[in-house]
C-alpha cells in the first residue's frame, strides 16, 4: 500500500473516532434509527430473504434492534472473527451469542455458513464512506477480503459525519453498491 494513502487513512480514522466521541449514546441511537428506517425502505432490503449484516460495536450505526426485529422474517447472517478472517454464521437470537475472543463484540455460535452465493444483501459497517461508494474500514481488511468473494448487493451504512465527498482508497478496498446515511437521499 502507498505510504501516503496509509497515513491519509489513519488520519481520517482518528478524525472520525473523535467525531463519534462528541455524541451521547441516545443521540447515536436516534441517528441509527433514522438510517435503519431508510435501509428498511430500500428495495434491495425489501426483496432480500438472506441478509449478511453485522452486530454493531459502540460508535457504529446500531443494528441490534434491526436484527432482533427482522430475524424472524428474514434469515440474518453475522460475521465471526476467526484469527485473521471473517466467517459467517446464522443469527438465532441474542441468547445464542457469545463474546468474541478477539474483539469486544457479540458473535453467533453454531455452524459456519458457506453458501455465500445465496446471500441476497450485505449490510456493511465502516469508519467512513464517500459519494463514490468507497468504504474505509478499521484497517484490518476483514471485510475487504470477504467481500471480494461475494456478489450480493452491498449497502454501507454510516452516520452523516462519516460521509465524505472523497476518502483515500487503494486497489484492495471494496466499493459498496449504495451508501445510506442520515441523509438517506444519497
DSSP state of 130: E
Supply the Cα-derived Rg of the chain in whole angstroms.
16
What's the whole-model pTM score? 0.93
pLDDT of residue 164: 96
pLDDT of residue 158: 97
Are the CB atoms for 124 and 154 separated by under 8 Å?
yes
Cα 59 from Cα 48, distance rounded (Å): 26
pLDDT of residue 1: 56
Looking up cell 453485522, which residue turns up?
A: 54
- Report the SS3 class of residue 46: helix
Per-residue model confidence as pLDDT tens digits over 117-155:
999 999 999 999 999 999 998 877 788 888 888 999 999
What is the rounded average pLDDT of the residues 95-103?
A: 88
Percent of the chain with pLDDT over 70: 97
Are the CB atoms for 165 and 129 separated by under 8 Å?
no
**CATH homologous superfamily, domain 3-180:** NagB/RpiA/CoA transferase-like (3.40.50.10420)
Burial class (CB in 10 A: 0-12, 13-18, 19+), 3: exposed
Per-residue model confidence as pLDDT tens digits over 33-82:
999 999 999 999 999 999 999 999 989 999 999 999 999 999 999 999 88
Per-residue model confidence as pLDDT tens digits over 2-33:
789 899 999 999 999 999 999 999 999 999 99
Are the CB atoms for 3 and 33 separated by under 8 Å?
no
Looking up cell 470477504, which residue turns up?
A: 146
Are the CB atoms for 161 and 12 separated by under 8 Å?
no
pLDDT of residue 183: 65
Cα 66 from Cα 69, distance rounded (Å): 5
Q: How many helices (H) and strands (E) does the chain have?
A: 5, 11
The pLDDT-based confidence of 184 (bands split at 50, 70, 90) is very low
Closest to 129 measured CA to CA, from 186, 53, 64: 186
Amino acid at each position: 500500500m502507498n505510504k501516503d494513502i496509509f497515513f491519509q487513512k489513519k488520519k481520517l480514522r482518528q478524525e472520525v473516532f473523535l467525531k463519534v466521541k462528541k455524541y451521547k449514546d441516545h443521540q447515536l441511537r436516534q441517528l441509527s434509527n433514522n438510517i435503519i428506517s431508510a435501509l428498511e425502505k430500500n428495495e434491495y432490503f425489501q426483496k432480500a430473504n438472506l441478509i449478511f449484516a453485522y452486530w454493531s460495536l459502540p460508535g457504529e450505526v446500531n443494528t441490534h434492534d434491526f436484527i432482533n426485529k427482522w430475524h424472524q422474517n428474514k434469515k440474518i447472517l453475522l460475521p465471526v472473527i476467526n484469527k485473521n478472517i471473517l466467517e459467517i454464521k446464522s443469527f438465532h437470537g441474542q441468547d445464542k451469542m457469545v463474546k468474541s475472543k478477539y474483539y469486544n463484540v457479540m458473535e453467533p455460535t453454531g455452524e459456519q455458513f458457506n453458501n455465500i452465493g445465496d446471500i441476497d444483501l450485505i449490510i456493511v459497517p465502516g469508519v467512513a464512506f464517500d459519494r463514490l461508494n468507497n468504504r474505509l474500514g478499521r484497517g484490518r481488511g476483514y471485510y475487504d477480503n470477504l467481500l471480494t468473494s461475494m456478489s450480493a448487493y452491498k449497502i454501507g451504512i454510516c452516520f452523516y459525519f462519516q460521509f465524505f465527498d472523497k476518502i483515500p482508497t487503494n486497489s484492495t478496498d471494496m466499493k459498496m453498491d449504495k451508501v445510506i446515511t442520515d441523509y438517506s437521499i444519497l
